[in-house]
Amino acid sequence: MSNSTNADSGEPDDVGRGDDARNGDDASERENAAADTGATDSREQSESSSDEEAAAVAPRPPREKRTPSSVRASEGGKGRRTASRSEAEAARTAEPNAFARIWRFIRQVIAELRKVVTPTRTELLTYVAVVIVFLIVMMAYVGVLDYGFGQLVLWAFGG
């Protein structure tokens, strides 16, 4: 029985695999080969003789070979440093000229201003009243703290 653990999860390697994982490496190799070719060995066919079990076990698709994401990555080899995010973005997109950027900014400002909804007169008066009441409450709070700290300083240093 294998006592090794999976480095990612910390679980034993043979958890959830059935009896094949406990029988050694050649059983897991048979399982991988069967998954790659889409075939099953005779032992698996005899175990899943009922229709319910056969419907529950779906064959795995063959594994795809991974190819490098770009030609430069495959040519780079070891020792080549990874490009920073800013370098990669700069290489991928070219900056438009200054006038195009200014024109794009103006178009974006106009698009945002079209989304603005002006409040009605009653909403505006309500918002103004809320702001004024909030300011009065905050001024009173800061005034009380100022007076209290002033009295504390006078008491501490004698005044």
Binned at pLDDT 50, 70 and 90, residue 64 comes out as low
The count of other CB atoms within 10 Å of the CB of residue 47 is: 13
Cα angle for residues 85, 90, 92 (degrees, 5° grid): 95
What is the H or E stretch that residue 128 is in?
A: helix 121-157
Cα–Cα distances (Å) from 88 to 68, 83, 92, in that order, read 17, 6, 6
The count of other CB atoms within 10 Å of the CB of residue 76 is: 13
Most confident range, picked from 29-43, 68-82, 93-107: 93-107
What's this model's pTM, rounded to 2 decimal places? 0.34
Binned at pLDDT 50, 70 and 90, residue 39 comes out as very low
CB 22 within 8 A of CB 2: yes
Residues 6+ apart with CB under 8 A from 53: 47
CB 5 within 8 A of CB 12: yes
Percent share of the chain, pLDDT over 70: 50
